[in-house]
Copies of this chain bind each other. A is one copy, B any other.
Amino acid sequence: MGEPQLRVPGPTPLPARVVRSASRPMINHRGPEFAAVMDDVIGGLRWALRTDNEVLLYPCSGTGGLEAAAVNLLSPGEQALFCVMGSFGERWAKIGETYGADVVRLTVPLGEPIDPEDVERTLAEHPEITTVFVTHNETSTGVTNDLAAIAGVVKSRGKMLAVDSVSGAGCLPLETDALGIDVLVTGSQKGWMAPPGIAMIAVGAAAFERSETAKCPRFYLDFGREKKSQDKNQTATTPAISVMFALQEGLAMLREEGIDNAWARHARVGRMIRAGVEAMGMKLLAADGHRSDTVTAVHSPADSPEALKNLLTTLRTKHRLVLAGGQESLQGKIFRIGHLGFIDDADAYTILALLEAGLIDTGLRTRGGLAIAAAQSEARGAVAPAEPVSVG
């Protein structure tokens, strides 16, 4: 008898030690204690993101982080490519338009990934594009892009690359520097096992240089202003201190586990969830080969939006499993399972067992047990985690 199973694609459940860390007394954000926290958090993020770049910390949601990337890289009238495969890609493109950028959209059907060849072709057709904005893991559809292939195309043409990995980083393999990602955005409430409230943005030297001449107006989200403070291990304005404490502890847990092991854990849990869902006769929204290991979007097993809503309500109120519905045009058509951050095999079994029970309760299935068997079969193939490598 514990807390409800919160399995939306963020916020994610908090480990007890993260909650304890977040409960530390407030400290002066201009003093030496906070500087040490900053140093530790930024070091941990650099390690986890595989980057030597500066990591800027803003008190804001992931959307604020996306806006920061756009306004620091672009000037009004400047042509930029926004790769749209769902709500969050579309939101980023809208931000670009809001600030007057000349937005070129590469839009794919919901459930499909961005095809690197389409990126190549679009860049060839629009040589004035200076910057490419792409979602690593689209939270609204459960699709993971082949980021390495896309980055290869973008960088081979010498374009600036900004990546939304809000719901990917910390969970999915991500080599920020090896891929040449100029700006990478993530958020505290996803893979990092902390509450929402901080966007973390890894910014490379070329992006800082661009921001010096980029003309979209900004003050709060300005890269240069924030960097000037962070060079002194401070923040430009008052940081979200308790969320910083949480993030510090979440990163400590990731360091103890090893980032490769965390990636492998998410891959295994992702396979278990998908196998279980399919064993219950449901269909996945995401195209095969591009299914996310952090978010699974499932076509509604019900024959109406009302019946889907009834399923989600039954799961929440009777089985205490909190899943997410679809967003915008997918509302009433899909539901989503978040399986990122503080999650392991046991949680995957719990999610599947509760989901199956709810399906039976609402008349959408007649027989149980198949989901767990399928997930067990997926998990059985997994090897024990490697010893984490030493983390300098």
**Which residues of B sit under 8 angstroms from A332, Cβ to Cβ?**
none
Is A100 in contact with B217, judged by CB distance below 8 angstroms? Answer: yes
A28 at interface by CB-CB < 8 Å: yes
* In the complex, chain A residues 124-152 whose Cβ is within 8 Å of any chain B Cβ: none
Shortest Cβ distance from residue A13 to the other chain B in the assembled complex, whole angstroms: 6
Whether the pair A242, B22 counts as a contact (CB closer than 8 A) is: yes
Residue interface bits A214-248, CB-to-B below 8 A is 1, else 0 = 00111111000000000000001111111100100
**Closest residue of chain B to A245, judged by CB?**
B195
Q: Which 6 A-B pairs have the closest CB atoms?
A: A197-B240, A61-B237, A195-B242, A63-B237, A11-B26, A61-B238
Which residue in chain B gives the minimum CB-CB distance to A95?
A: B219
Rounded to whole angstroms, the CA-CA distance of A13 and B25 in the bound complex is: 7
Chain B residues in 8 Å Cβ range of A239: 61, 196
Contacts of A220 in B (CB 8 A): 60-61, 63-64, 67, 95, 221
Q: How large is the interface on A (under 10, 10 to 19, 20 to 34, 35 or more residues)?
A: 35 or more
| Copies of this chain, whole number | 2
List 19 interface pairs A-B (beta carbons < 8 Å), by A numbering: A11-B28, A11-B29, A13-B25, A14-B26, A28-B324, A30-B325, A60-B220, A62-B237, A63-B219, A63-B237, A64-B237, A67-B220, A98-B218, A98-B219, A189-B238, A189-B241, A196-B238, A242-B243, A242-B246
CB pair A23–B26 under 8 Å, yes or no, is no
CB <8 Å contact, B59 and A196: yes
Q: Is the Cβ of B10 less than 8 Å from the Cβ of A238?
A: yes
Q: How far is the CB of A182 from chain B (nearest CB, A)?
A: 21
Determine the chain B residues whose CB is within 8 A of the CB of A61 once the complex forms.
59, 220, 237-240
Per-residue interface assignment for chain A, residues 86 to 122, with 1 indicating a CB less than 8 Å from any chain B CB and 0 otherwise: 0000000011001110000000000000000000000
**A360 interface residue (CB < 8 Å to B):** no
Interface of A is mostly: loop
Question: Contact: A22 with B25, CB < 8 Å?
Answer: no
Q: A3-B25, A8-B30, A322-B28 are in contact. Are A197 and B62 (CB under 8 A)?
A: no
- Alpha-carbon separation in the docked complex, A281 to B100 (Å): 57
Q: Do A324 and B30 have beta carbons less than 8 Å apart?
A: yes
A25 surroundings in chain B (CB, below 8 A): 3-4, 6, 13-14
B residues less than 8 Å from A392 (CB atoms): none
Q: Which of A50-100 contact B (CB under 8 A)?
A: 58-64, 67, 94-95, 98-100
Q: How far is the CB of A59 from chain B (nearest CB, A)?
A: 5
- Please name 10 further chain A to chain B contacts, defined as beta carbons within 8 Å, in addition to the given A59-B196, A67-B220, A197-B242, sorted by A numbering: A3-B25, A6-B27, A11-B238, A14-B26, A26-B195, A58-B60, A63-B238, A196-B238, A196-B239, A242-B242
Closest residue to A312 on the B side, CB-wise? B31
Q: In whole angstroms, how far apart are the Cα atoms of A320 and B241 in the complex?
A: 19
Measured in the bound complex, the distance between the Cα atoms of B24 and A6 in whole Å is 13
Q: Does A12 contact B (CB under 8 A)?
A: yes
Residue A187 interfacial (CB < 8 Å): yes
* Known contacts A25-B3, A60-B64, A219-B67, A240 near B240 by CB under 8 Å: yes
**A219 and B94 contact, Cβ closer than 8 Å, known pairs A195-B242, A196-B240, A197-B242:** yes
A19 within 8 A of B: yes
The answer to whether A196 and B241 touch across the interface, beta carbons within 8 angstroms, is: yes
Closest CB-CB distance, A37 to chain B, in whole Å? 13
Bound complex: CA A239 to CA B19 (Å): 17
